[in-house]
Amino acid sequence: MMKVAVAAGKGGVGKTTIACGIASVLAVQGEQVLLVDLDPQSNAAWGLGADPTLPGTAELLLGENPAPIQISDNLWVLPGGPGLKGHEVMRLDPEALADAIAPFEHTAIIFDCPPGWDHLERLGLVAAETALVVVDAHPFAIQGAARVIETLSVRCQKQRQGAQRWALVMSRVDLRRTLDKDLEAALIALFADVDRLLIRQDVALSLATTERTPIVSTAPQQCRGMTDLHNIIEWLRNGEASR
């Protein structure tokens, strides 16, 4: 089973867009995909077209049996929601989500982590085997990525449960912008041994979540967004960055 956390340490960098994108491409590739929305705002569920207010991740964490909502043939989502901000969820062990998803029989589970809720982000990082650390050219995003990678490395060194493998995803990249051109060099300087993946700025990616439909049903196969999503999935499957 493939278990992937999409995290950032900063808001608005493209986590949900990437999580929904890889979930829908994996579903078309024949995986049985569950997207676990860890955001109190439930953006991923909304962006895939589900009712974001239905029971979901919070209820699962609290020991209930919410039914994943089916989006398409091979794609399901557990919505986030304000319940994730509650005290009961806040008090859970970091392993709580890893334990709660154990009964699911999906072949791929994607965790969309929220910004600004470290304990929710940690639930996703600990339940995953692989983490995609999303970053853009803003200094705060690079600081956020450094914090997530530090959390991952420390857990790994202590042989704690959680993602064993991670890559940086440079998000919303537009090489006409000076800051974006310098991003890769900045990441190489700071995280020399971490693989780097790329998601370029692409209207098909932003349209998918605003039109509330999986990207595969609207975007042309050859658009930048689909090409970049396929490269990320290649890395997830084979562990190699195609740069």
When binding is defined by CB under 5 A, the residue of 5, 8, 10, 16 that contacts Mg ion is 16
Q: What's the sign of the alpha-carbon dihedral 125, 128, 133, 134?
A: negative
Backbone angles phi, psi at 78, to 5 degrees: -105, 115
> 38-77: which residues touch Mg ion (CB under 5 A)?
43
Whole-number Å distance between alpha carbons of 178 and 168: 19
Contact flag: residue 136 with ligand ATP (CB under 6 A): no
151 token code pair: 């959390």
Q: Stretches 10-18, 60-68, 84-92, 158-166: which one binds ligand ATP (CB under 6 A)?
A: 10-18
Contact flag: residue 15 with Mg ion (CB under 5 A): yes
Whole-number Å distance between alpha carbons of 9 and 225: 23
CB of 103 to ligand ATP, least distance (A): 27
**Burial of 45 (C-beta count, 10 Å sphere; 0-12/13-18/19+):** buried
Q: Which is nearer to Mg ion, 43 or 151 (CB)?
A: 43
When binding is defined by CB under 6 A, the residue of 5, 13, 127, 141 that contacts ligand ATP is 13
Beta-carbon contacts of 12 under 8 Å, excluding residues fewer than 6 positions away, are 115
Contact flag: residue 82 with ligand ATP (CB under 6 A): no
When binding is defined by CB under 6 A, the residue of 4, 48, 199, 233 that contacts ligand ATP is 199
Whole-number Å distance between alpha carbons of 39 and 49: 16
Contact residues for ligand ATP (CB under 6 A)?
8, 11-17, 39, 43, 114-115, 171-172, 199, 201-202, 205-206, 209
Contact residues for Mg ion (CB under 5 A)?
15-16, 43
